[in-house]
Amino acid sequence: MINDSLTSLVSNMGNKQRDKLASTSYSAVILSDSELINAYHNSWVARRLVDIPAKDAIKNWRMWQTDNENLNAIEREEARLGIQQKLLQAQKLARVLGGAAIYIGTNDKDLSKPLDPSRIGTGGVRYLTVMDKNALTATEFDNDVTSEFYGSYAYYEVVNGTQKVKIHPSRFILLKGEMRVANTSGWGSSVIQSAYNWARHADSTAHNIANLIFEATINVFKIPDLFHRLGDVDEENTVMKRLTLASASKGITGDLVMDSEEDFIRTSANFGGLSDILDRFIVYVGASQGIPASKFLGQANKGFGDGEDLITNYYDDIRVMQTLELTPALRVFDECLVRSAIGHYPDNISYLWSPLEQQNAGEIANTGKAFAEMGNTLVSGGMFEPQEVRLALINQLVNTDVLPNLGDVVDELDDDLQS
């Protein structure tokens, strides 16, 4: 019988007695929450692995597409509730522990019922509370295939003082970390889990290099018949006195006086290549989340390229996180937010995630010029009325920071004209 494998009769590749890779396998080594927390607090490599994508996904926030009056009201409501800061906090917790939630506080009494956004009036969202996954106790697994919460838990219990409160999952903004296969917990995995070994390699290498610094220079003092003299107490005292005087003389004058039979050798350690090894370990940690080395280490890209393609790929990953993870998680809250801000939910309201790359002054000017030319083309071509294009361009010019205060100026002028 012939086995179809990579075993070679010549080199014995695949033979566990000869090939070290043949015994390599993957085993489940699940880190506890305390180990994950310790890694985040004590390793800057693990902390950056968690923080960089979370900050990049949320720092530029989003651009609401609506009229200027509603836009200002929604932005004030977001600021009042602190949603941007709390979402960042929850996202970091989810990336460390594999899950986190933001409780949407309303005036509802029965929290076991689904949250109905249509019942939210002006100021109806009272507060937001960030919780890690351990603050929620999952109960009653949802097996109803017609439910939007199928495959997760139907309720969560939260300790409130001395009582347990049953809360429907729709009342939370749920962030579940990395996907976990064959998941029965309702939560995901930590981003530190898959990169843990590389993070330890990086930290251990840095620690060992730091220790080597103290042994960068080793002085060797050769004394004739040293081992024979160590058996006698007087001889030992003489040797110690000799070494002490030699050290003092070298420290004061920089000169060393020796007997003709003695010898002094200074050896220096070679650190060449160690920094490259350390950098490579750290790069592997960032690569586990698609973070380019230039961004993870905060240094210029090495090599012939400028690394722009790597940054572009990374920002593509962040955009996927925003559109496929954060947007669905925020769906119920966003409707509650709009109703809490303006009292109803307009049909023509939506939002876009802001561009991830920061534009410089020249790029902002070019963006404004492109919008102006586009508006002129739309009007001169007869496709839209000037007032329609005007309203659309106001939103774009404000949201892209070309003319961030334009909306307020237009509102003031319109009020003056009406008065």
Give mean pLDDT, residues 135-157: 82
Does residue 325 contact residue 90 with C-beta atoms inside 8 Å? no
Name the pLDDT band for 209 (thresholds 50, 70, 90): confident
Which CA distances in Å does 86 have to 100, 101, 132, 287, 320?
11, 10, 12, 27, 20
Q: What is the pLDDT of residue 17?
A: 62
Chain mean pLDDT for the chain: 85
Distance of CA 129 to the CA centre of its chain: 21
| Residues above pLDDT 70, as percent of the chain | 88
Question: Domain for residue 15, yes or no?
Answer: no
Q: What is the pLDDT of residue 1?
A: 46
Name the pLDDT band for 33 (thresholds 50, 70, 90): very high
Name the pLDDT band for 368 (thresholds 50, 70, 90): confident
Residue with tokens 């920089």: 254
Tell whether 80 and 143 lie within a shared domain.
yes
Tell whether 319 and 401 lie within a shared domain.
no
Q: Which residue has the higher pLDDT, 338 or 137?
A: 338
Tell whether 247 and 110 lie within a shared domain.
no
Tell whether 202 and 316 lie within a shared domain.
yes
Question: Domain for residue 52, yes or no?
Answer: yes
Q: Is the pLDDT of residue 14 over 80?
A: no
Q: Which residue has the higher pLDDT, 355 or 20?
A: 355
Domain with 409, as residue range(s), is: 359-418
Instruction: Render the burial of 172-198: b for 16+ CB within 10 Å, e for the rest.
Output: bbbbbbbebeeeeebbbbbbbbebbeb
* Separation of alpha carbons 319 and 155, rounded Å: 30
Overall domain count for the chain: 3
Question: In this predicted structure, which of 81-85, 210-214, 250-254, 383-387 has the lowest mean pLDDT?
Answer: 250-254
Q: What is the pLDDT of residue 359?
A: 73
Tell whether 293 and 345 lie within a shared domain.
yes
Q: What is the pLDDT of residue 78?
A: 98
Residue with tokens 């932005």: 75
Give mean pLDDT, residues 66-88: 94
Tell whether 281 and 184 lie within a shared domain.
yes
Q: What is the pLDDT of residue 302?
A: 65
Could you report the per-residue pLDDT of 80-117, keeping only the tens digit for each? 999 999 999 999 999 999 999 999 999 999 999 999 99
Question: Domain for residue 12, yes or no?
Answer: no
Alpha helices in 156-273 (DSSP H): 191-213, 226-229, 233-253
Among candidate residues 328, 349, 370, the one where a domain is terminated:
349
Question: Domain for residue 378, yes or no?
Answer: yes
Tell whether 236 and 343 lie within a shared domain.
no
* Separation of alpha carbons 317 and 325, rounded Å: 11
Tell whether 229 and 194 lie within a shared domain.
no
Tell whether 292 and 345 lie within a shared domain.
yes
Query: What pTM was computed for the model?
Result: 0.76
Among candidate residues 297, 331, 349, the one where a domain is terminated:
349
Q: What is the pLDDT of residue 181?
A: 80
Could you report the per-residue pLDDT of 317-362, keeping only the tens digit for each? 999 999 999 999 999 999 999 999 999 999 889 999 998 887 778 8
Q: What is the pLDDT of residue 144?
A: 80
CA proximity to 314, closest of 337, 287, 332, 344: 287
Could you report the per-residue pLDDT of 238-281, keeping only the tens digit for each? 888 887 887 777 666 667 777 777 787 877 777 778 888 888 88
Question: Domain for residue 143, yes or no?
Answer: yes
Question: In this predicted structure, which of 47-51, 65-69, 332-336, 343-347 has the lowest mean pLDDT?
Answer: 65-69
Tell whether 130 and 239 lie within a shared domain.
no
Does residue 94 contact residue 188 with C-beta atoms inside 8 Å? yes
Question: Domain for residue 2, yes or no?
Answer: no
Q: What is the pLDDT of residue 252?
A: 62
Q: For 304, which DSSP code? A: S
Q: What is the pLDDT of residue 253?
A: 62
Tell whether 69 and 169 lie within a shared domain.
yes
Tell whether 46 and 154 lie within a shared domain.
yes
Question: Domain for residue 9, yes or no?
Answer: no
Does residue 392 contact residue 362 with C-beta atoms inside 8 Å? no
Instruction: Render the burial of 319-343: b for 16+ CB within 10 Å, e for the rest.
Output: eebbeebbeebbebbbbbbbbbbbe
Question: Domain for residue 4, yes or no?
Answer: no
Q: What is the pLDDT of residue 76?
A: 96
